[in-house]
Amino acid sequence: NILPDLIICSTAERAIKTAEILAEEINYARPNIRLQASLYEIEIEDLLNILYHLDDKYKSVMFVGHNPPMSIMSDYLTRHGVGNLAPGSVFCCEFKVDTWKAITKYGGICKFFEAPKN
């Protein structure tokens, strides 16, 4: 029951389709999906920079992106990372902070992790 205030998605066709499916399932307005071309082959430092510079009006944000950056980010944000995120996986991390800039390495708590069944 965690709904994002913002969905940030890679411009890759498969990522957009995934974001659109997720948006439909949670009644999130598709036009509000923010496309971010740099997510396709982004370095972890740049991905974290996007996270740190989010507007604090957003309390819950979903990224729809690619490996290895998404897996690396999940490991960076929580002490007990989930390792390699398979395509279609969902990882939810919670932070006890008031601003995105206050997020630190291992500062998050993994709320849930779901991977598609083979």
Prior bond to 4 cis, omega within 30?
A: no
Are 10 and 66 spatial neighbours (Cβ–Cβ below 8 Å)? yes
Query: What CATH architecture applies to the domain 6-114?
Result: 3-Layer(aba) Sandwich (3.40)
pLDDT digit string (tens) for 55-100? 999 999 999 999 999 999 999 999 877 888 988 899 999 999 999 9
Within 13 A of 74's CA, how many CA atoms are on the CB side? 26
Residue-wise pLDDT tens digits, 1-42:
789 999 999 999 999 999 999 999 999 999 999 999 999 889
**Strand, coil or helix: 116:** coil
DSSP letter for each residue of 30-98: GGG-EE-GGGTT--HHHHHHHHHTS-TT-S-EEEE--TTHHHHHHHHHBSS---SPPTT-EEEEE---S
What is the domain partition of the chain in residue ranges?
Answer: 6-114
